[in-house]
Amino acid sequence: MKSPCVRDLTDGQLVATMFLVREKEIRISARSGKSWLELSLGDCTGSIPAKMWDNFESIAKTFECDDVVRIRGRVKLYNGSKELTLEQIIPASEKEYELGDFLPHTNCDIEKLWAEVHAVIAGMKNPWLQKLLTSVVDDPDIAPRLKRAPAAMTMHHAYLGGLLEHVVSLIGLAKAVSAHYPELDADLLLTGVVLHDVGKIDELRYQRGIDYSDAGRLLGHISIGAGLVREKCRAIAGFPARLEVLVEHLILSHHGSYEFGSPSLPQIPEAVALHFIDDIDSKMAGMRKTLEHASTGAPDDVWTDRNPSLRRAIIRRDQFLANGSATQPPKKG
């Protein structure tokens, strides 16, 4: 990890490090006519506004948004927020830095997650599903993207490695649910778990930021994923056509309803179960993020900010039990 990182900057600190340029604009004061360079600089721990007041014109032409730059400057507090005043900006070459330092990523160990996926595949009894999954995760074109892709733009697991973290969390839930409901075919459900969001490797772009790809907006990860899986099934000699239909069905129906973008509705127990565990995991991850943000921001507040996937705030259980306003009618005696 590069040092210092955004999260650790303090007022008055002199800083010489690299940042990713997230926003870049030249502004002019309406009154004084004076212009300056306004940037948003970031790394995997956050973002900070930065200003360069003098001699920025030629420098500004040497880099663009999403470039990494080497800067020198000093931290100031304005209205309680940290801001950088820059003296120097030099574009960095790709060899100088680790791009991973500049984008948020999972706290989990990617290789451990990856090993869990492989362990699941190794443990399967259905040879066709095993072959199918192997052909996906061992595809050298797919594997690195599967390890790197986020699971979403904003809602949950919106960071590098988020997709894999989400899949491994679902593996745990799928095992528990399969053990609970013996009518479920565990291999089929686990296949749905590993493949349900595989289209996100193409739906999103996650090289120097997280965004939709053009094809992602035009097709969506559900259709992209179903297409990829169809291709993989058909590349396996003798793969049963009806089993392929069930696997595609799991992918197509995993959003659970037309309104949420599934073009077909769950029609086997495994598809219903996959939809539910996917939904619960994304909601739990979203709440975890909201609660973590609250605990760093305002440690005593009883309510969090609005959670985007639930469209409401969450109450912080422990803070409420300690400090909340219960306003209950009094107990009798």
Question: Could you say which residues in the range 196-255 bind a second copy, by CB under 8 A?
Answer: 202, 205, 213-220, 222-223, 226-228, 230-231, 234, 240-246, 248-249, 252
Per-residue three-class SS string for 173-213: HHHHHHHHCCCCCHHHHHHHHHHCCCCHHHHEECCCCCEEC
Which residues are within 8 A (CB) of 250 and not within 5 positions of it... i.e. 6 or more apart? Answer: 188, 191, 192, 195, 196, 268, 270, 271, 274
Pattern 72-91, binding to a second copy, x per CB under 8 A? Answer: -----xxxx-----------
Report if residue 137 touches a second copy, rule: CB under 8 A: no
Which CB atom, from 18 or from 160, has the smaller least distance to a second copy?
160
Length of the chain: 333
Instruction: Please list every residue from 151 through 180 that binds a second copy, using CB under 8 A.
Output: 169, 172-173, 176-177, 179-180
Could you tell me which stretch among 65-73, 86-94, 104-112, 259-267 binds a second copy (CB under 8 A)?
259-267
What CA dihedral angle connects 246, 252, 257 and 260, to 10 degrees? Answer: 160
Report if residue 279 touches a second copy, rule: CB under 8 A: yes
d(CA 86, CA 206): 28
SS3 state of residue 38 = strand
Which CB atom, from 97 or from 206, has the smaller least distance to a second copy?
206
Which CB atom, from 7 or from 317, has the smaller least distance to a second copy?
317
Report if residue 1 touches a second copy, rule: CB under 8 A: no
Pattern 24-53, binding to a second copy, x per CB under 8 A? Answer: --xxxxxx----------------------
d(CA 197, CA 151): 8
Alpha helices in the chain (DSSP H): 57-60, 110-122, 127-137, 143-148, 162-180, 186-195, 200-203, 214-219, 221-234, 241-253, 269-297, 317-323
Report if residue 291 touches a second copy, rule: CB under 8 A: yes
d(CA 157, CA 288): 10
Q: Least distance (Å) from a second copy to the CB of residue 118?
A: 20
Report if residue 130 touches a second copy, rule: CB under 8 A: no
Q: Least distance (Å) from a second copy to the CB of residue 258?
A: 5
Pattern 87-126, binding to a second copy, x per CB under 8 A? Answer: ----------------------------------------
Q: Least distance (Å) from a second copy to the CB of residue 315?
A: 5
Instruction: Please list every residue from 299 through 318 that binds a second copy, using CB under 8 A.
Output: 302-303, 310, 312-315, 317
Report if residue 330 touches a second copy, rule: CB under 8 A: yes
d(CA 170, CA 277): 7
Which CB atom, from 65 or from 314, has the smaller least distance to a second copy?
314
d(CA 97, CA 86): 20
Which CB atom, from 197 or from 270, has the smaller least distance to a second copy?
270
Q: Tell me, by CB under 8 A, how many residues bind a second copy.
A: 94
d(CA 269, CA 129): 17
Report if residue 321 touches a second copy, rule: CB under 8 A: yes
- Please report how many Cα atoms fall inside a 13 Å half-sphere around the Cα of residue 129, on the Cβ side: 26
